[in-house]
């Protein structure tokens, strides 16, 4: 679907800019004859709107701003030296005026909402759609509206809400209760479930029925509708041909991205010309092209010793933004669980021959090693390569003592890039995969007191994760199922996949687990951090400042 999104977005925005910036001239002379009322009454024009509505997912998924808001400020990550949004990572002086990531997402999610509202209102007038085509496209737009509104309401709380398209400059914003958002989310998703096709579309990345059901299962869990969450997640598990991949590490293979575990992905094109859209293409002035997740979690391995280890394609371009918390590393038992090795790079090999400290290194020799344990001085002294064990990464309280060298999340690495400094990646972003459905069912069963059923679902995930010969070691009993165990298991399974902050908020564990497990944020997080600050630019722009104020706790 990438090329269609690109071309449709270019067309859609050219029409938008024509209407917005040339209004006076249009009243006098419009050589194209195009107007909003005519473009959206024909299928060809309406398709551009639908495809453009999808494009705004790329402002969050696979992008640094989205990673910072959804993964940072949790129990499992802290900031590396390259973190450009430390306020989100630590809650230290987090305000609406000092975090551009929030501004970018706010502006573009509301642009996406307005686009969805426009399409939903206009679709009945499309003259050359069949009734089925109208139902399908409206189902897509309603799904996307629910999807974007979920990000908005969970991130900012009871903020502006509308289902009507807006035209021109609007300076009045409303404060709408969270329940109203969720009522609309459920209404839209139920419409999507009833009207989206039950067979996969030929355009990869478009939503279809199980995508809407899977997201609906997540929404049911979020709102405490446990029986509904169990039923809906099981529907997705059983009825659409999805299956867990045999090996966890297979999920991240660049040659295997479109696999049977993926329920929905943001599809990034292998043709980078389609990913790296020109800055002028987007109204916000930001390019929203390729996936940049591959840059963010990597330690600066190219600063360990440049005599024998330099930046290359395979090891990635290290932006050093995010560092795992010691608590995340400790959640893995790497002797039985394949997900540690499947998620983290701990060894870097020499890619230059050379001599360091009297030791000779050939290409392929171990150059650096990061350990999640404390190694003995004798072991360290017996090795010629550089070692960073726990005492060289964290102090006794878990605070990093340096933020440059650590086990690096490798899930999103892309060895298909054409050069060592290439910042673009064609990697798809998995928004929903089948493993989440098992974990949703497990959490919902646990909340209804059915610990045996919860353990059943968790053990399916842990069986896949087990190292050869260790399936029995990975099985848990019903007595082991607690909310904290489920959160630990979700960390092992989904670390870095843009869900963690929402997981902690949903379970009421955000402040507790940050305080206990993330010493960088422990001294700053407060109850009001359950929502993020509204961008100051939005506060400044509204004319009804007495009604639409900053979220409590923020300046």
- 18-21: long-range pairs with CB below 8 Å, 24+: none
Residues 213 and 330 in one domain: no
Residues 288 and 360 grouped into a single domain: no
pLDDT in the model for residue 269: 83
pLDDT at 9: 44
Q: How far is the C-alpha of 238 from the C-alpha of 351, rounded, in Å? A: 47
- Residue 104 included in any domain: yes
One-letter-per-residue 3-state SS of 290-341: CCCHHHHCCCCHHHCCCCCCCCCCCCCCCCCCEEECHHHHHCCCCCCECHHH
- Supply the DSSP symbol for 394: B
Task: Point out the least confidently predicted range of 21-25, 42-46, 196-200, 403-407.
Answer: 21-25
Mean pLDDT for the stretch of residues 86-115: 96
Among 409, 431, 465, the domain boundary falls at 409
Residue 274: predicted pLDDT: 65
Please, which residues bridge with residue 175 across strands? Answer: none
Dihedral through CA 214, CA 217, CA 223, CA 226, nearest 10? -170
Closest CA to 127 of 64, 216, 43: 43
Residue whose pair of structure tokens reads 């800055």 in the numeric block: 279
At residue 288, the pLDDT reads: 54
| Mean pLDDT, rounded, for 467-484 | 98
Does 275 share its domain with 304?
A: no
Residues 286 and 330 in one domain: no
Beta-strand runs (E) in 378-495: 386-388, 408-409, 429-433
> Contact at 8 Å (CB) between 206 and 141?
no
Q: Does a structural domain hold residue 440? A: no
Name the residue with tokens 């050939």: 362
| Model confidence pLDDT, tens digit, residues 497-538 | 999 999 999 999 999 999 999 999 999 999 999 999 999 999
- Give the pLDDT of residue 530: 98
Q: Cβ distance 554 to 527 under 8 Å? A: no
Q: At what angle do helices 131-156 and 178-195 cross, to 10 degrees?
A: 150
pLDDT, tens only, 370-384: 999 999 999 999 999
At residue 167, the pLDDT reads: 82
Write down the pLDDT at residue 35: 58
Same domain, 190 and 338: no
Domain assignment present for residue 137? The answer is yes
- Mean pLDDT over 126-133 rounds to 96
Token couple for 68: 């910072």
* 218 has a pLDDT exceeding 70: yes
Residue 324 binned pLDDT confidence (cut-offs 50, 70, 90): very high
Q: Is the pLDDT of residue 276 over 80?
A: no
- For residue 277, name the pLDDT band (cuts at 50, 70, 90): very low
What whole-number percentage of the chain has pLDDT above 70? 90
Distances (CA, A) of 225 to 178, 216, 217: 16, 11, 9
- Answer yes or no: do 103 and 129 share one domain: yes
Tell me, what's the pLDDT at 176? 98
Q: How far apart are the first and last CA of the chain?
A: 42
542 has pLDDT over 70: yes
Of 107, 424, 496, residue with least CA distance to 268:
424
* Run of H or E including 369: strand 366-370
pLDDT at 37: 62
- Residue where a domain terminates, one of 356, 384, 409: 409
| Residues 243 and 299 occupy one common structural domain | no
pLDDT score recorded for residue 344: 98
Least confident residue range of 97-106, 227-236, 268-277, 468-477: 268-277
| Same domain for 112 and 71 | yes
In a domain, residue 502? The reply is no
Reply yes or no on whether the pLDDT at 6 is more than 50.
Answer: no
Strand partners, 265: 430
Residue 465: per-residue pLDDT: 98
Decide if pLDDT at 23 tops 90: no
Supply the range of the domain harboring residue 225: 2-292+533-541
Look at residue 210 and tell me if it is in a domain: yes
* pLDDT at 284 (0 to 100): 41
Model pLDDT, residue 15: 38
Looking at residue 340, its pLDDT comes to 98
Instruction: Tell whether 22 and 59 lie within a shared domain.
Output: yes
C-alpha pair distances (Å), 383 with each of 57, 304, 357, 394: 47, 15, 12, 21
Q: Give me the pLDDT at residue 33, please.
A: 46
Q: Which of 392, 409, 426 is the last residue of a domain?
A: 409
Count how many domains the chain has: 2
């Amino acid at each position: 679907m990438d090329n269609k999104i690109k071309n449709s977005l270019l067309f859609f925005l050219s029409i938008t800019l024509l209407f917005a910036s040339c209004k006076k001239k249009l009243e006098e002379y419009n050589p194209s004859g195009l107007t909003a009322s005519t473009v959206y009454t024909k299928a060809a024009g309406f398709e551009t709107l639908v495809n453009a509505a999808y494009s705004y997912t790329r402002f969050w998924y696979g992008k640094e701003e989205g990673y910072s808001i959804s993964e940072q400020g949790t129990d499992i990550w802290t900031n590396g030296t390259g973190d450009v949004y430390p306020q989100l990572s630590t809650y230290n002086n987090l305000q609406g005026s000092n975090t551009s990531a929030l501004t970018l997402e706010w502006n573009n999610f509301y642009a996406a909402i307005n686009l969805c509202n426009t399409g939903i209102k206009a679709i009945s007038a499309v003259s050359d759609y069949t009734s089925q085509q109208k139902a399908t496209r409206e189902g897509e737009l309603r799904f996307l509206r629910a999807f974007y509104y979920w990000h908005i309401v969970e991130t900012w709380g009871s903020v502006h809400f509308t289902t009507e398209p807006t035209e021109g400059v609007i300076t009045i914003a409303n404060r709408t209760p969270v329940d109203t958002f969720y009522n609309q989310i459920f209404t839209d998703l139920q419409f999507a479930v009833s009207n989206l096709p039950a067979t996969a579309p030929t355009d990869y990345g478009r939503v279809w029925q199980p995508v809407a059901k899977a997201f609906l299962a997540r929404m049911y869990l979020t709102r405490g509708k446990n029986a509904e969450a169990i039923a809906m997640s099981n529907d997705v598990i059983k009825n659409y041909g999805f299956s867990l991949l045999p090996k966890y590490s297979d999920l991240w293979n660049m040659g295997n991205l479109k696999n049977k575990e993926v329920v929905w992905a943001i599809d990034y094109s292998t043709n980078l010309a389609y990913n790296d859209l020109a800055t002028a293409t987007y109204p916000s002035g930001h390019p929203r092209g390729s996936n940049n997740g591959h840059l963010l979690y990597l330690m600066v391995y190219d600063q360990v010793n440049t005599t024998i280890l330099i930046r290359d394609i395979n090891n990635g371009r290290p932006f050093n933004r995010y560092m795992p918390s010691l608590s995340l590393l400790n959640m893995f038992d790497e002797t039985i669980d394949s997900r540690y090795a499947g998620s983290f790079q701990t060894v870097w090999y020499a890619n230059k021959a050379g001599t360091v400290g009297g030791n000779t290194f050939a290409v392929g020799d171990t150059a650096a090693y990061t350990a999640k344990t404390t190694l003995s001085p004798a072991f360290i002294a017996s090795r010629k390569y550089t070692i960073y064990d726990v005492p060289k990464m964290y102090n006794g309280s878990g605070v990093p003592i340096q933020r440059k060298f650590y086990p690096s999340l490798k899930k999103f690495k892309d060895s298909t890039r054409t050069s060592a400094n290439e910042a673009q990646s064609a990697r798809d972003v998995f928004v929903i995969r089948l493993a989440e459905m098992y974990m949703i069912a497990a959490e919902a069963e646990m909340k209804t007191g059915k610990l045996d059923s919860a353990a059943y679902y968790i053990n399916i995930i842990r069986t896949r994760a087990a190292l050869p010969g260790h399936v029995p070691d990975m099985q848990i009993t019903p007595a082991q199922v607690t909310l904290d165990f489920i959160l630990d298991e979700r960390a092992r399974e989904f670390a870095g996949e843009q869900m963690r902050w929402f997981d902690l908020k949903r379970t009421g564990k955000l402040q507790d687990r940050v305080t206990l497990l993330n010493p960088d944020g422990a001294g700053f997080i407060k109850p009001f951090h359950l929502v993020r600050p509204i961008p100051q630019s939005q506060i400044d722009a509204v004319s009804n400042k007495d009604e639409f104020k900053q979220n409590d706790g923020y300046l």
